[in-house]
Amino acid sequence: MDAIKEALTHLLIYEANGFLALTYVLWEHGAAIVTAGAMSYLILGAPAAQRTWITATAILAVLATLFAPPPVPLILTVMALAGAVAVWRDTFNPDNLRWRLTGGLALYALAALGYLAYSRYLDGVDAMSWARALGGEGQAAAALAQGRAFVNTLATWGLWLIIPLGFFSLLAQSMFVHPPGPQQPGELISTIRTRGHD
């Protein structure tokens, strides 16, 4: 009887640990999972000509959510979700909106990955090599610090404000360019032509 209790206890512990590990992975990579879901929605509804580009953008977006520093993953996830909702709600030209959103998401993901690559490169730069090239260790350290500060400032403004605000303004303009209505464009034209009478 004790062996059965011990086996059940171990089984429950293994199950609880597995559940906790799964919860941790989902929490840790939640931005990538949600972004992948939103991008999958954009891919599935896309015309064949757009699918390759949207798939490439989805890969870039998921990589950016996995590797870029916070708050970039959260901002990118919100952008992808807002884009998917906008395409879902668009009754006039969702393919055009999908294409414009893909460009905005690709730009943001490339900017995030580019900043990540550049900051990793700067971390590996040897100040002594720069010192020989610039004529002194103090000058090299100052030049590196100034370069890092400049790039960090640009990245903060660009990744946290400028690109997301541009994306959301594009999204708002696309959503509000047509009056709200449940009808498809063909139905709306028919209603206007017949003045509501059959």
pLDDT band at 84 (very low <50, low <70, confident <90, very high): very high
**CB 101 within 8 Å of CB 53:** no
| CA dist., res. 121 & res. 159, Å (int) | 19
pLDDT higher than threshold 70 for residue 5: yes
Q: pLDDT digit string (tens) for 187-198?
A: 767 777 776 666
Structure tokens that stand for 142 in this block: 């100052």
- pTM (whole model) above 0.75: yes
- With a CB cutoff of 8 Å and minimum separation 6, the contacts of 86 are 97, 101, 171, 174, 175
| DSSP assignment letter at 159 | I
pLDDT higher than threshold 90 for residue 6: no
Listed ranges 100-104, 154-158, 193-197; the one with the highest mean pLDDT? 100-104
Residue with tokens 């990589």: 63
Nearest 5°: the CA angle 47, 49, 53 is 105
